[in-house]
Amino acid sequence: MAHRVYNFSAGPAVLPEKVLKQAADEMLDYQGCGMSVMELSHRSSVYQKIIDDAEAGLRKLMNIQANYKVLFLQGGASLQFLMIPMNLGKTKKADYVNTGEWATKAIKEARKFGMDVNVVASSESTTFNHFPKIDPAKVRKDADYLHITSNNTIYGTKCMDVPKVNIPIVADMSSNIMSEKFNVSDYGLIYAGAQKNIGPAGVVIVIIREDLLGLVQGLPTMLDYATHARAGSMFNTPATYGIYIAKLVFDHMLSLGGVEYFEKLNKEKAAIVYDAIDNSKLFKAHVKPGKDRSLMNIPFFTEKEELNKKFLKEAEAAGLVTLAGHRSVGGMRASVYNAMPIEGCKKLADFIKKFDRENS
């Protein structure tokens, strides 16, 4: 039996054990073709079926309408910080919501590209400890898009309510895609790096409404969404193995009941961890109770740095690993993505309670 820990990493993150086992079983001989998926030509019919099934699985899970393209790209969510202004920035004017480090990076990159960026809401002055209200009246009617980060991986806030605006909404869903139900049709473009809630690092998924393709002419080929949409994400060699693992994750999710199943489970899981923190003497969550608390990333801390260190050390010894907080927040962070079993959350909650009793 392999030694497995509960891995609370923010990303690359835990994957479903069933998926890893299936990948292991299929490693040397994928469905009788005598080779690994890693060795398959992306132009083969066997691989074409894998990427087609991956797309079909995602479409089913997220209920993606026919007027949206699904792209499997590379360069991470970070390259999207550039590709979005490049492709959608017809008038080089865009509005952004600043909810943390990733949003800040997206804003910086858009400005670097020469965009006129208007920050319509921000929680920066309170260390991003809540999701700021977005006043639709502040969103420019002639901006090319409004950019939101739906889940803030580092600070642990989220928001799935979109403001009523008449410009396309672009969402960075890297750390909460498929964690709860929402309407794809509320968005013009959704993107997500795979390594949080989908599969291995190296794949980024872009879901784009067709009318937003080809708005800007003369773009560098690889940076033009239209190139990848036309070529079915195979203009060049895609991240074949990562897309295969994503397909296995989508199949696994569908077999359990899809996003609905995971939303219910994620709410239970997060509540178990937040309750242990909220009911303790020593620990505090970075984000106050409320609907903007992330279901995926839970930053928490004690007032004393040496207690945080002790907690991390003892947690690791108990098989609860990668709990250190991001350097900008400190303390601890439990990332409890879709693939984190509820048992891991229960074990962490029990550990928090025990540590609280022993040290307060």
* For ligand PLP, the closer CB: 76 or 319: 76
Residue 333's nearest CA partner among 341, 323, 342 is 323
Helices (H) and strands (E) in the chain, counts: 10, 14
211 is catalytic: no
Dig out the tokens for 346 from the structure. 């229960």
* For ligand PLP, the closer CB: 195 or 302: 195
172 is catalytic: yes
Least distance from ligand PLP to the Cβ atom of residue 196, Å:
6
Q: What are phi and psi of 98, to 5 degrees?
A: -100, 105
Please tell me which residue in 172, 224, 292, 356 is annotated as part of the active site.
172
92 is catalytic: no
> In this structure, is the dihedral angle defined by the CA atoms of residues 85, 94, 208 and 226, taken in order, positive or negative?
negative
User: Does 292 sit near ligand PLP (CB under 6 A)?
Assistant: no
Q: Which of 109, 172, 180, 224 binds ligand PLP (CB under 6 A)?
A: 172
Residue 25 near residue 222, CB atoms below 8 Å: no
**Number of chain residues interacting with ligand PLP (CB under 6 A):** 12
The amino acid sitting at 177 is I
Q: Which of 11, 85, 188, 242 binds ligand PLP (CB under 6 A)?
A: 11
User: Does 123 sit near ligand PLP (CB under 6 A)?
Assistant: no
Mark residue 8 as left, alpha or beta (left: phi above 0; alpha: psi -120 to 50; beta: remaining). Answer: alpha
Least distance from ligand PLP to the Cβ atom of residue 204, Å:
6
User: Does 102 sit near ligand PLP (CB under 6 A)?
Assistant: yes
* For ligand PLP, the closer CB: 158 or 283: 158
Least distance from ligand PLP to the Cβ atom of residue 9, Å:
11
Q: Which of 64, 77, 146, 229 binds ligand PLP (CB under 6 A)?
A: 77
Considering only 76-84, 207-215, 225-233, 298-306, which stretch makes contact with ligand PLP by CB under 6 A?
A: 76-84
Is there a cis peptide before residue 238, judged by omega within 30 degrees of 0?
Answer: no
* Interface map 173-192 toward ligand PLP (x if CB under 6 A): -xx-----------------
Three-state DSSP class for 333? strand
Distance CA 296, CA 313 (A): 22
Longest CA span, the chain: 64
* Interface map 137-166 toward ligand PLP (x if CB under 6 A): ------------x---x-------------
Considering only 58-66, 169-177, 207-215, 248-256, which stretch makes contact with ligand PLP by CB under 6 A?
A: 169-177
Q: H helices within the chain, ranges in order?
A: 17-25, 45-62, 76-88, 101-112, 194-197, 225-230, 240-256, 258-278, 305-317, 342-359
Half-sphere exposure of 265 (CA within 13 A, CB side): 20
Least distance from ligand PLP to the Cβ atom of residue 193, Å:
3
> In this structure, is the dihedral angle defined by the CA atoms of residues 292, 190, 249 and 105, taken in order, positive or negative?
negative
Residue 240 near residue 47, CB atoms below 8 Å: yes
Considering only 12-20, 70-78, 133-141, 246-254, which stretch makes contact with ligand PLP by CB under 6 A?
A: 70-78
Least distance from ligand PLP to the Cβ atom of residue 105, Å:
7
Cite the active site residues.
102, 172, 196
Binding stretches for ligand PLP (CB under 6 A):
11, 76-78, 102, 149, 153, 172, 174-175, 193, 196
